[in-house]
Amino acid sequence: MDEKIIYLTFDDGPSTNVTNKMLDILKQQNVKATFFVVGYKINGREDILKRMYNEGHSIGLHTYTHEYKKIYASDKDFINEMNETSMEIKKVLNIEPKIIRFPSGSKKHLTKNLLEKLHAQNYKIYDWNLCTSDGINYNIKPNKLYREATQKCINPNKIFLLMHCDANNKSTCNCLESVILYYKNLGYHFKPITPDTPEYYFRVKN
């Protein structure tokens, strides 16, 4: 039987209260996750970034500004946003992450040309195959988020679950433990994304 793996991934952090609470839950459950961080949010929250790293979680890049008009203006702008975020992380942790996630996903933005440019800088792309709506609806109830996070996945043996850890994602905090316990009870292994994890991205545009 194939090993059942789930990658818990959190976008849009770090935030002070929400991200710290999520880290508390992950530590309590002895689960490692992946945080795709936004560069400008690191300033003043360096301690949270250090905590993520020191507690064994993976840190990925989610652009510097998260402003779509800026980051998707050109391939050069997109890559610069990733490089800038990497440099911010290097200042704090002395590492340069190479795992990235496109804001809103790569679907409308990843061309063969951009893919080649990213790979030339050793960046690896990770989208998702299961997601919650906590990135577009902060007022969603925890029980609805739980149902979204535990619905049937297109590839049930390798789940890339997208959730968010922005300051407004309190409902995500309130359902996270239940989501973890659900997948533990089904025998899933929780893994952080690393550069050795096979890339997972949506279809490339011509």
106-128: pLDDT as tens digits: 999 999 999 999 999 999 999 99
Task: State residue 71's pLDDT score.
Answer: 98
List strand residue ranges (DSSP E) for 3-100, in order: 5-13, 34-37, 58-61, 99-100
Question: Residue 1's pLDDT band (boundaries 50, 70, 90)?
Answer: low
Q: Is 0.75 topped by the overall pTM?
A: yes
Mean pLDDT of 90-102: 98
Q: What DSSP line would sit under 147-163, residue for residue?
A: HHHTSPPSSTTEEEEEE
Answer yes or no: is pLDDT of 206 > 80. Answer: no
Task: State residue 205's pLDDT score.
Answer: 80
3-52: pLDDT as tens digits: 999 999 999 999 999 999 999 999 999 999 999 999 999 999 999 999 99
| Residue corresponding to tokens 């309190």 | 170
- Encoded amino acid at 196, one letter: D
Looking only at the bridges linking them, the beta strands covering 5-13 and 34-37 are parallel
130-164: pLDDT as tens digits: 999 999 999 999 999 999 999 999 999 999 999 99
Average pLDDT, rounded, for the chain: 97
| Better-predicted residue by pLDDT, 203 or 105 | 105
Question: Residue 88's pLDDT band (boundaries 50, 70, 90)?
Answer: very high
Task: State residue 4's pLDDT score.
Answer: 97
Q: Who contacts 144 (Cβ-Cβ below 8 Å, separation ≥6)? A: none
Residue ranges covered by each domain of the chain: 5-190
Please state, for a pLDDT cut of 90, what percent of the chain lies above it. 98
Please state, for a pLDDT cut of 70, what percent of the chain lies above it. 99
Q: Which CATH architecture has domain 5-190?
A: Alpha-Beta Barrel (3.20)
